[in-house]
Amino acid sequence: MKSLGTQGLILNEKLLFEHSDAGRKGYSLPRLDVPPARLPAALVREEVSGFPELSEVDVVRHFTRLSTWNYGVDSGFYPLGSCTMKYNPKVNEVAARTPGMAAAHPSTPDHLSQGALALMHDLQEALAEISGFPAVTLQPAAGAHGELAGMLMIRAWHEAQGNSRKKVLIPDTAHGTNPATAALCGYEVVPIASDGVLSAAAVAAAMGGEVAALMITNPNTLGLFEAQIREICQIIHDGGGLVYCDGANLNALMGIARPGDMGIDVMHFNLHKTFSTPHGGGGPGSGPVGVTAVLAPFLPVPVVVEEQGTYRLEVDRPLSIGRMKAFGGHFGIMVRAWAYIRSMGGEGLKRASEMAVLNANYIRARLEGTYHLPYTARSLHEVVFSDRDLGGNCHTLDLAKRLIDYGYHPPTIYFPLVVKGAIMIEPTETESKEVIDEFCDAMLSIAAEAGENPDLLHQAPKKTRVGRMDETGAARKPRLKWEK
C-alpha cells in the first residue's frame, strides 16, 4: 500500500487557548495623541476569563496548519454518493469575482442593474430549457430551501383550489430531507416501500383524496432511474395531487432527459451540486425551483422578467407564496452556474452526464463480485454496495476508516437506509480513469485485508493525527466549548 498522508511536517496542533501566553498581543497601535474617549458602559463587555493571548504569527500559523488538514475536491478524489462533489472549473470562480459581479449592490435600482438582471434572467431560461419547466425562481438559498419553496407552492395551489389536503407520499429511496420538508409544510408523511425503484402499483395503492403530493427523487438515492415515472405522475394527477421531484441528482440527466417532460410539476436544482459552485461547509448554495405553467403564479417574489429588452424585478404577484430570501438570492452562486452552463453548452452538459454515468458504472464493474450489489438494475451516476460480503466481521464503518489510511475521503455510508450497511459511491464526470482505477484498487485491497487481517480495518485509521473516535458520543454529547 502507498504511504499517503504521512509524509512531511506533521504537528499535533494545539487549541488556540493552549497556545496562549500571558502578555502576548496580536496588534501594535501607535501611542494615543488625543484624549481617550470612553464607550458607554452598556457596550463594554466584561473581561473574558481565560481568553487566549497570542501574537499575530501564533494565529496565522495555527490556522494555516489547520487549513492543510482539510480534504476537499481540489486535493483528492471525493466520492460522496448523493452529493456530487465534482471539480469546479476555476474560470467560474474568476467570473463570480469580477468586480462588476462581486461588488454589485442588491439595492441598486433595476435600471442600473440591467447586466445583473440579464444574467439572472438568462440563467432562469437556461435552467428552464435543461429541465423542461416553463418557469423558474432563483430565490431559494439551498436544496432543502428549494424543497420548502416547492412544497409551499404545492400547498398554496391546493388551497387556491379550495382543497387543503393532508398527506404527502415519499418513497423509501427519496432524499433524506424530503420528509422533513413535507412535515414543515404541515403535511403527514406517508412512506412507500419500493423494490429499488418505485412501482406505479405501489403509488396507486397509496393514492387517495387526502394526498397532496408525491415527493420523489429521480434518479433515486440508489442511483437508479425511476422507469415508471410517467405512469406514477399520471396516477398522482388523476387523483388530484402534484408531483415534487428532488433534483439533487440532475447531474445524471442533463441533456438526456427532462423532468418536466416526465410529468413532474415542481423540482429544485442544486446549483452547488450540478452547476459548478462550491459544495459543502454549509454554503452558500443555491436551490432554484422550476415549475409548470399552472404553478408559475405561486412563485416566490421577486421574479426577474424581461419586457422589450429591459429587465426588472417583479413583486406584484397576488398568488405568490411571498419572499423566500433577501433580495434576489445568492447572486454570486448564480454567476458561477451561468458561467458553467454557458462555457459547457448543451453538448458539454450532455457529455458531463454521460461521463458521470460511465464512471459510476466503471466502478460498479470493477467492484461487483467483491462487494455485494443489493440492486442489479442499471446504475446511473452513483452505485450503492453493501458490506454483506466483507470478511473478518468487518463492516461499512471499518471500510470507511481504512480508506482514510489509503488517502481517500470515504464515500457516503449507511445511506440510503433501504440498504443495510450501504456504501454509496459517486465519482462524477470530472475524475479520470487513472484516479478511479487507483480508488478501485484501494477498495479491492481493503476487501482482501478484511479476510486476511481484519484488525487493519478494525483499528483504522492508523495514519491520522486522531484515530477511531467515539462517533456516537461526538454526536450526542458534543464538546462545543473549550474548558480547562
* Domain edges within the chain: 91-344, 346-467
Strand runs labelled E in 349-479: 383-386, 412-413, 422-425
CA 455-459-462 angle, to 5 degrees, is 120
Residue 467's nearest CA partner among 401, 395, 413, 412 is 401
**pLDDT over threshold 80, residue 175:** yes
Fold observed for domain 346-467? Aspartate Aminotransferase, domain 1 (3.90.1150)
Q: Is 307 helix (H, G, I), strand (E, B) or coil?
A: strand
Query: pLDDT tens-digit profile of 144-167?
Result: 999 999 999 999 999 999 988 999
Q: Is 314 helix (H, G, I), strand (E, B) or coil?
A: strand
Pairing of strands 211-217, 242-247: parallel
Residue 431's nearest CA partner among 377, 372, 381, 378 is 381
Query: pLDDT tens-digit profile of 294-344?
Result: 999 999 999 999 999 999 999 999 999 999 999 989 999 999 999 999 999
C-alpha cell at 279: 459544495
C-alpha cell at 336: 458561477
d(CA 375, CA 107) in angstroms, rounded, equals: 52
User: So what's the pLDDT on residue 46?
Assistant: 79
Cβ 218 vs Cβ 197: under 8 Å:
no
Q: Which pTM value belongs to this model? A: 0.89
C-alpha cell at 156: 398554496
**What is the enclosing helix (H) or strand (E) of 145?**
helix 143-160
Q: Is 361 helix (H, G, I), strand (E, B) or coil?
A: helix
User: So what's the pLDDT on residue 114?
Assistant: 97
Q: Which residue has the cell 460522496?
A: 80
Strand partners, 304: 313
Highest mean pLDDT among 68-72, 278-282, 318-322: 318-322
CA 214 vs CA 50, 188, 232, 252: distances in Å: 54, 12, 9, 21
Q: Which residue has the cell 421574479?
A: 303
- Number of residues written out for the chain: 484
Torsion of CA 177, 181, 184, 188, to 10 degrees: -100
Query: pLDDT tens-digit profile of 7-63?
Result: 445 567 888 998 899 999 998 889 999 999 989 988 988 777 778 999 999 999 999
d(CA 302, CA 325) in angstroms, rounded, equals: 9
Q: Establish whether domains 91-344 and 346-467 are of one fold.
A: no
User: So what's the pLDDT on residue 467?
Assistant: 87
Per the rule left: phi > 0, alpha: psi between -120 and 50, beta: everything else, 393 is: left
Domain 91-344 class in CATH: alpha beta
Query: pLDDT tens-digit profile of 452-463?
Result: 999 999 999 998
